[in-house]
Amino acid sequence: MTHAPLRVRTADVPDGGMASFPHGDRKVLVVRDGDELRAFDAKCPHAGADLGKGLRCGARVVCPWHHATFSADDGHLLEPPALDGLKRYTLTRDGDAWEVAEEAQAPAKPPQGAADGHTLVVGGGAAGFMVAQSLRAAGYTGDLTMVTQEERAPYDRTALSKAYLTGKKKPETLPLGGGDWAQKQRVTLRSGVRAEKLDHAAKRLHLAGGEVLPYDRVVVATGASPKPLKVPGADLDGVYPLRSLADAEALRAAAQGARVVVVGSSFIGLEAASSLVGEGGAQSVTVVGQDAEVLGRALTPRVGRAIRRLHEDKGVRFVLEAEVERLDGGEKVEAVTLKGGERLDADLVLLGIGVSPNTDLLAEWRDEKGAVHVDAALQLAPDLYALGDIAAAPTVLGEMRVEHWRVALQHGLAAAQAILDVPGAAPMDARVPFFWTQQYGKSLRYVGHADSLDETHLWGDPDTLNFIEFTFDGEHTVAASGMGRDADLVAFEELLRLGRAPVAAEVRAGEFSLPERLRDAAPSGRLS
């Protein structure tokens, strides 16, 4: 289908800003600095958001949904969860108007570095994938080997508790980078292989079965394992974790027509509950939680209550301030008995009670909680990097270990840039933690990190799912969560990154526009 060429006047785009324009069945994002315009595909390559509804902060274009960030100069990727930069359009100037080329060009290459030798990546999750992907994108010419215990290439774990359980996302759409990613990126993929011992002094990785892999540098990104439920009956058939694609496949098949009890009222349990109670096919879903309200470690009771009501409206039942005494049944689980005596009939029990970092390979470096402490380049020792769920790493808010997808991808990108010594790359201590959850098509987003919820302040109304809740450490605003406030949360993340977040007294004084605050605080022009 042909359509008229897209023409954009300079005045159609605010100076130092951006706007998106329809272009046939697509949209084009146009950014402006003075009399210069540049054009990109406006569809975020991660999940398809219109980038024109996001925010620009100096040389950064930030997606409104999941905060993927791109260079306003050439569109290359600055922050995940997108895995690649933006396609570009050629602009031809005609007086005060610009005509946009019909076809888009490939994304620009990110800034390049240099390194060779053999890099060995242990782990095929988000962090392991992203370090390999980013190494190749930024010019790595050496050998790349990935060892993963799973029987498959890296894939999108975020879909497992959401669209995959409902059947909306098919297995063939899960692989990160596509089904031929390893071949395209020249990665020797050793799947279904377990690493047993790391001898870093000799630069050797010992595999189960006796094989030894030499390396020049090693990246350990072994992730975490679900915590077991330590009660009688926990070994019965019908008790499921949810960490891998194999877990999700088994759970989805078993859930059809089943009475499901979810043990754990945090994010993974609630995401799974929202998927199983609807299109996931469960007969009923009951969530058992130890806290007085759902998501009690991240949200205040008022906000948690609003999320719980969203579930209850869909038929999910909650039993809170409760602990499991035992699981009952013959060979297969039949019921969950709680301390206090209440008995919940169950054909299937899903465990969502947290994870433990897999740091056996790094036993000499790990602390009493199982984490390893790395620097801003994700380095643990010379030529030894540790990423993802296992790593306590610096951020703009201090050192922390964060078990979330986007942070793991950030680790992979930052480590690759450090290995290659990419000019101008942002280390981890210049980055902000962020995660999101989606339930019943509604997204809650969380920026920053708070160790406690002792001091908070709320803008908006959680009951209408339109709010932003701030958390303070003294006078410092260190975290914000919200729904229906995408632009505010993007702006808050960028303000945290710049060290310009509003202090507690300002937040408590009343609502104001965080995007406007960002425009006042952001660097101008094409400087990052």
Residue-wise pLDDT for 397-453, tens only, equals 999 999 999 999 999 999 999 999 999 999 999 999 999 999 999 999 999 999 999
Confidence of residue 526 (pLDDT cuts 50, 70, 90): very low
Q: What domains appear along the chain, each with residue ranges and CATH number?
A: 6-100 (2.102.10.10), 118-225+356-424 (3.50.50.60), 239-353 (3.50.50.60), 450-521 (3.30.390)
DSSP label of 360: G
Cα–Cα separations (whole angstroms), residue 183 to 133, 137, 226, 376: 12, 14, 31, 30
* Average pLDDT of span 135-155: 97
Q: Is the pLDDT of residue 69 over 50?
A: yes
User: Confidence class of residue 527 from pLDDT cuts 50, 70 and 90?
Assistant: very low
Cα separations in angstroms, 127 against 132, 134, 222, 506 = 9, 10, 9, 37
Residue 521, pLDDT above cutoff 90 = no
Angle of CA points 457, 460, 466, to nearest 5° = 125
**Three-state DSSP state, 504:** helix
Tokens read off for 338: 């709680």
Share of residues in the chain with pLDDT > 70 (%):
98
Q: Which two structure tokens, joined as six digits, stand for 225?
A: 């394992």
pLDDT confidence of residue 281: 94
Q: Residues of the chain with pLDDT > 90: what percent?
A: 96
Q: How confident is the model at residue 504 (pLDDT cuts 50, 70, 90)?
A: very high
- Name the pLDDT band for 34 (thresholds 50, 70, 90): very high
The answer on pLDDT for 528 being more than 50 is: no
Measured torsion, CA atoms of residues 230, 234, 239, 240, in degrees rounded to the nearest 10 = 30
Band of pLDDT at residue 96, cut at 50, 70 and 90: confident
- The chain-wide mean pLDDT, for the chain, equals 96
Say if CB 46 and CB 63 are below 8 A apart.
yes
pLDDT, mean of residues 110-117: 96
What CA–CA distance (Å, rounded) separates 266 from 435?
13
Q: In this predicted model, what pLDDT tens digit does every residue of 227-257 receive, in sequence order?
A: 999 999 999 999 999 999 999 999 999 999 9
Phi, psi of 217 (to 5 degrees): -145, 150
Reading the block at residue 87, the tokens are 């396609």
Q: Tokens 């948690």: give the residue.
A: 304
What average pLDDT does this structure show over 181-198? 97
Q: How confident is the model at residue 524 (pLDDT cuts 50, 70, 90)?
A: low
